[in-house]
Structure 1
């Protein structure tokens, strides 16, 4: 595996772990801790070269579907001063899923490339 992708795997494992920890005060924290925790685990397994491409592919596609589902029809930004708290929260959650989706799909295609 390319050293750059190995480093990215470790970096995103740490970032997603931090994201999971920061969810402790969210109203639906358990859901998001699990989502970010799974993304962190997949990233770590990718960095360790211990995962087949189908796992990040499936979770990447599911995350993208989640992004589409949660994306608010009237996106108002990420700052609470930008608009309604519910819409802002949905936007933040949706874009979190988009980031997870992009990272995991990149890892999936990188894993497939090495086969």
Structure 2
């Protein structure tokens, strides 16, 4: 299980880092670079066993709030192949990315909590 968590965290370190890079063409790029930067740093610190479970739960909660805040008024999907057609699609992408980050951070928190016992 520990090997799986290391591979999982390594994969999400790369994915969150990639998400930071592709934000440069976004209208609110610096905000999302910061958000995904936090997720990337949390993934790195999980690999290094440097944070307490409580910290991951707080960060996961933060990303859940972001998911709620960015949820579009009318969900139109995420349509990755056609660029940003509407604001609802962009908000759907931002909300989905926040939800993925929240789930990953909660997994880190649970794993850290049970590894300390």
TM-score, scaled to structure 1: 0.92
* CA deviation vs aligned residue, 1:24-82 (integer Å, no higher than 9, x gap): 1100000000000110010011012122111111110110111112111210111276x
> What CA distance in whole angstroms lies between the structure 1 residues aligned with 2:111 and 2:66?
22
Give the secondary structure class of the aligned counterpart of 2:59: helix
Verify the 8 A CA contact 1:7 1:47 in the aligned structure 2. no
Q: Does 1:6 align with 2:6?
A: yes
Gaps of 5+ in 1: none
After TM superposition, the structure 1 = structure 2 runs for residues 85-100 of structure 1, keeping only pairs within 5 Å, are 85-100=86-101
Q: Kindly state the Cα deviation for residue 84 of structure 1 after the two structures are TM-superposed.
A: 5.5
Gaps of 5+ in 2: none
Q: How many residues align?
A: 114
Residue 30 of structure 2 is matched in structure 1 by 30
**Post-superposition, which runs of at least 4 consecutive aligned residues in structure 1 deviate over 6 A?**
none
> What CA distance in whole angstroms lies between the structure 2 residues aligned with 1:51 and 1:107?
10
Verify the 8 A CA contact 1:6 1:48 in the aligned structure 2. no
> What CA distance in whole angstroms lies between the structure 2 residues aligned with 1:27 and 1:84?
14
After TM superposition, the structure 1 = structure 2 runs for residues 1-115 of structure 1, keeping only pairs within 5 Å, are 2-79=2-79, 85-115=86-116
